Copies of this chain bind each other. A is one copy, B any other.
Amino acid sequence: MPLTPLTDELWHSIRREAQAASEEEPALASFYHATLLNHDSFASAMSFHLANKLDSQAVPAMMIREVFEAAMAESPEIESAMRADIYAHCERDPACEKYSTPFLFFKGFHALQSYRFAHHLWLKGRRGLALYLQNQISEAFGVDIHPGARIGSGIMIDHATGVVIGETAVIGNDVSMLHSVTLGGAGRLSGDRHPKVGRGVLISTGAKILGNIDIGDCAKIGAGSVVLHPVPPHTTVAGVPARVVGHPKGDVPARDMDQGLNGTDSD
């Protein structure tokens, strides 16, 4: 049964939070209304908020929003993934106490959702518009995700500045990564040349994973690592170049968000 405004619990929670916040902080009441309270659905508010961040002199926000609304109507999985990403933030990030916080304020979240639209356009062959969006996302948020990349749902990109994800990268569900992470290519070859990241993986700050290599489910990549070889599932790697240093303590490192290498990790 599809969500309706009446049965949409996430949207209701976000609105309730915004209503309360708007009463507490008059300086932002105008912002909460324009961005959330004035809209009658999650999709309407999301397309409005992102379009405002991605417009330019010659491509006005109105036009971008039109494209985003059409995409969400045509591909309902875009909105599903957005919702899963919000839940992921609130579950994994101690600094995220409300559903409205990533929606309104986290640029990693904004960059990822904007990519979802660019990816939709890429699949439909609208490459010029997808590249335009990639550039605007990179200017606005400092995050460069090629619209050809395939990214699952339940994703958190924390802090986000400097993240780069290449054209043939694949990222499974429930992955967490931090700022300055690179999923890059190795070589001028075209074709399949970027990492394949399994589900539940945690990629710590500044890690660089290069080339068409597999990162197994629930692996953990240490901060500042340079990963040039495949990583088995449930394995922790670290260093430049990265070597196996142990195994993540929890089942799903993406959920624990532990960038440290203590205990079982560094056995």
The reply to whether the CB of A115 lies closer than 8 angstroms to some CB of chain B is no
In chain A, positions 42-69 with a C-beta closer than 8 Å to chain B are 48, 51-53, 56-63, 65-67
Which B residues lie within 8 Å of A267 (CB)? none
> How far does the alpha carbon of A206 sit from the alpha carbon of B107 in the complex, in Å?
20
CB pair A57–B28 under 8 Å, yes or no, is: no
> How far does the alpha carbon of A256 sit from the alpha carbon of B185 in the complex, in Å?
11
Q: Which of A3-11, A73-81, A126-134 is the interface stretch? A: A126-134
Q: For the complex formed by this chain, how many copies does it contain in all?
A: 6
The reply to whether the CB of A140 lies closer than 8 angstroms to some CB of chain B is yes
Q: Which of B34, B105, B138, B228 contacts A60 (CB 8 A)?
A: B34
Which B residues lie within 8 Å of A160 (CB)? 138, 144
Interface string of A130-166 (1 = CB under 8 A from B): 0110110011111110100000000000011110101
CB pair A128–B188 under 8 Å, yes or no, is: no
The reply to whether the CB of A26 lies closer than 8 angstroms to some CB of chain B is yes
CB-CB nearest in chain B for A176: B188
The reply to whether the CB of A13 lies closer than 8 angstroms to some CB of chain B is no
The reply to whether the CB of A193 lies closer than 8 angstroms to some CB of chain B is yes
Give me 21 A-to-B residue pairs in the complex whose CB atoms sit less than 8 angstroms apart, sorted by A's number: A26-B37, A27-B59, A27-B63, A27-B129, A28-B129, A29-B29, A30-B58, A30-B59, A31-B59, A31-B132, A34-B60, A48-B63, A52-B62, A101-B131, A161-B162, A184-B259, A187-B257, A188-B255, A208-B224, A211-B259, A225-B240
Q: Which of A's residues lie within 8 Å of B, judged by CB?
A: 21-22, 24-31, 33-35, 37-38, 48, 51-53, 56-63, 65-67, 92-95, 101, 104-107, 126, 128-129, 131-132, 134-135, 138-144, 146, 159-162, 164, 166-167, 178-180, 182, 184-191, 193, 204-206, 208, 210-211, 222-226, 228, 238-241, 255-262
Known: A26-B37, A95-B167. 17 other contacts (CB 8 A): A22-B33, A26-B33, A28-B128, A28-B129, A34-B58, A38-B63, A52-B57, A62-B62, A94-B193, A138-B159, A144-B160, A162-B179, A164-B179, A180-B180, A186-B262, A204-B210, A222-B226
